[in-house]
């Protein structure tokens, strides 16, 4: 019997949330290896031996260790093509990737735990740190709303879930955590459609065994 993939993650990690959602959408069973971010467990030597960046998630699968959430998601899409997360049309595929990257490359990395900890270390008050995160998220999601404003729903790019939705739902979760004014009707339509699916509900932070 083939061993199940092992997902190294943390319940509140947005990037881990993305991969959990994709594993669920694909109907792929996996086991959890939990690393508590606030306790610094992602910097333990044993984990750094798997992922030298000390970031979550990492996926052990098929004898390999895969890192970076979007690379993992696209790997899963390739080894389990249905349901597809990327459109067949090259232009549409580029649009979906651009939306996903807008979140995963431009919003999330500058409001994550590492950056906020560094801001605190520079002497910023907690209100300023939270304000930084809220501003980054607001500006980024303003742009994302515009990117899909004229797209038919209910998901970001039409009638099926895509990589864009997989990135959007965890980012809106983060937005609420930081007290952002959730003012984006088109993004919220896509979020509602996703959260109606068991795959996303099971991937949510509150559904994880390490939820606090």
pLDDT per residue over 165-196, tens digit each?
999 999 999 999 999 999 999 999 999 999 99
- Distance between CA 19 and CA 7 in Å, rounded? 8
Mean pLDDT of 67-82: 98
DSSP-assigned beta bridge partners for residue 8: 33, 58
d(CA 31, CA 52): 21
pLDDT at residue 32 greater than cutoff 50: yes
- CATH 1.20.1050.10 domain span(s) along the chain: 90-200
For residue 2, is pLDDT > 80? Answer: no
d(CA 133, CA 119): 10
Residue 148 and residue 190 in contact, taking contact as beta carbons nearer than 8 Å: yes
The pLDDT, as a whole number, for residue 3 is: 87
Class of domain 7-83: alpha beta
pTM above 0.75, yes or no: yes
Q: Quick one: tokens of 2?
A: 């083939």
| 187 closest CA partner among 165, 166, 162 | 165
Closest residue by Cα to residue 116 from 132, 104, 102, 105: 132
Q: What is the mean pLDDT of residues 139-164?
A: 98
Q: Which fold has domain 90-200?
A: Glutathione S-transferase Yfyf (Class Pi); Chain A, domain 2 (1.20.1050)
């Amino acid at each position: 019997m083939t061993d199940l993939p092992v997902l190294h993650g943390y319940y509140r990690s947005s990037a881990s949330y993305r991969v959990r959602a994709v594993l669920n959408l694909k109907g792929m069973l996996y086991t959890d290896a939990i690393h508590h971010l606030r306790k610094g467990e992602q910097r333990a030597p044993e984990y750094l031996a798997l992922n030298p960046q000390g970031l979550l998630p990492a996926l052990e699968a098929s004898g390999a260790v895969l890192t970076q959430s979007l690379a993992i998601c696209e790997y899963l899409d390739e080894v389990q093509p249905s349901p597809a997360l990327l459109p067949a049309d090259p232009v549409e595929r580029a649009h979906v990737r651009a939306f996903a990257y807008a979140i995963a490359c431009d919003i999330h990395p500058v409001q994550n735990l590492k950056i906020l900890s560094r801001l605190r270390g520079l002497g910023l008050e907690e209100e300023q740190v939270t304000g930084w995160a809220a501003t980054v998220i607001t500006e980024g999601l303003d742009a994302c709303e515009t990117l899909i404003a004229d797209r038919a729903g209910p998901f970001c790019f039409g009638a099926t879930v895509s990589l864009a939705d997989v990135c959007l739902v965890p980012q809106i979760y983060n937005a609420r955590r930081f007290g952002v004014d959730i003012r984006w009707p088109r993004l919220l339509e896509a979020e509602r459609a996703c959260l109606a699916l068991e795959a996303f509900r099971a991937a949510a932070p509150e559904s994880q065994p390490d939820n606090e």
